Amino acid sequence: MGYLEGFGITLRQHRLFGGERVTTEYSGGRRAKKKQDDARDVDHDEKLPRPERLHGRHVLNRYEDGMEKCIGCELCAGVCPADCIYVRGADNDPENPTSPGERFGFVYEINYLRCIHCDMCVEACPTEAITESKLFEFSFTNRNDAIYTKAELVVDDDGMPQKLPWEDWRAGDDLLTSGWMRATAPAGDATFEGEVGWSGELGYGVRAPEPAQVERDKTVRVVGQRVER
Ligand code: SF4
Ligand code: SF4
């Protein structure tokens, strides 16, 4: 196909020529888009509420005393099915340690051109150092920028994800990081459901566990409604 033919396809899709526009402005979600269709002057720049277990951009967490949780063990890199994590551990300086362990994550990188947000890295991590936020609105203009470095991933001094200039953070995007992990103990054993399995975290403290399955089973979904049994 020549490029003039390509332009022709684009023009035929334009409303002026009777076509249907296929490229639409991202407006944060389906409900917001419907608002835009119904009343064009309504502010539609909003995000839909996120499912509790949505997997977004990662963060590297710190303990309440500010120490980094990552001990540079490389388990996350080993388990990643997309081979997109690069970690190098280094020995802690005994006088000024970065993490409570012998070693810490000296280099930590995630390539977001490869990541499929499966959270296998989160599940594998023995110290709950790596978790995922709810943010997925971030973009890059070159391949190098798609590789997040440790300096970008590690939480700030308040324990919150860094709000980087090319990311679209809204209220709630930094809450409940990897909520699904708290359904069970870190080992994934169902007998630990509902037990707090998370260490005190800078910014969040100790997170409450999710209710056990037996409690969740008390509710059933009936055609779009949630009713108690
Ligand atoms: S979420 Fe999955 S694909 Fe992404 S870095 Fe973790 S293990 Fe790899
Ligand atoms: S994030 Fe967790 S699994 Fe990965 S290197 Fe650090 S401590 Fe190990």
Domain match, 22 and 126 both? no
Residue 85 lies in a domain: yes
Q: What is the mean pLDDT of residues 75-87?
A: 97
Q: What is the mean pLDDT of residues 18-28?
A: 66
- pLDDT band with cut points at 50, 70 and 90 for residue 127: confident
The domain that holds 162 is classified in CATH as 3.30.70.3270
Residues 29 and 66 in one domain: no
Calculate the average pLDDT of the chain: 81
Domain count, the chain: 2
- For the CA of 130, the nearest atom of ligand 1: 6
pLDDT of residue 154: 97
Range of the domain at 25: 3-38
Do residues 81 and 163 share a domain? yes
In a shared domain, residues 72 and 133: yes
On whether both 75 and 124 belong to a single domain, the answer is yes
On whether residue 10 sits in a domain, the answer given is yes
Q: Are residues 128 and 182 in the same domain?
A: yes
Q: Residue 132's beta-bridge partner residues? A: 58
Residue 206 covered by a domain: no
89 Cα–ligand 2 center, Å: 9
In a domain, 218, yes or no: no
What residues flank ligand 2, with Cβ below 6 Å?
70-76, 87, 105, 124-125, 127, 129-130
Say if 213 falls within a structural domain: no
Q: Does residue 219 belong to any structural domain of this protein?
A: no
The three-state secondary structure class of 221 is strand
Within this chain, do residues 32 and 99 fall inside the same structural domain, yes or no? Answer: no
Residue 60 CA, ligand 2 centroid: distance in Å:
9
Longest dimension (CA), the chain: 71
**69/155 same-domain check:** yes
Whether residues 96 and 167 share a domain: the answer is yes
The SS3 call for residue 58 is: strand
- In a shared domain, residues 141 and 101: yes
Q: Tally Cβ neighbours within 10 Å of residue 167.
A: 18
Q: How do residues 192-217 score in pLDDT, each as one tens digit?
A: 777 776 678 888 887 777 677 777 77
- 8 and 92 part of one domain: no
In angstroms, what is the span from residue 9 Cα to ligand 2's centroid?
49
27 in a domain, yes or no?
yes
Ligand 1 center–CA 123 separation, angstroms: 10
Indicate whether 159 pLDDT > 60.
yes
Looking at the structure, tell me whether residues 19 and 77 fall in a common domain.
Answer: no
Establish if 156 belongs to a structural domain.
yes
Average the pLDDT over 31-37 and give the result: 54
Q: What does the alpha-carbon distance between residue 149 and residue 162 come to, in Å, rounded to a whole number?
A: 12
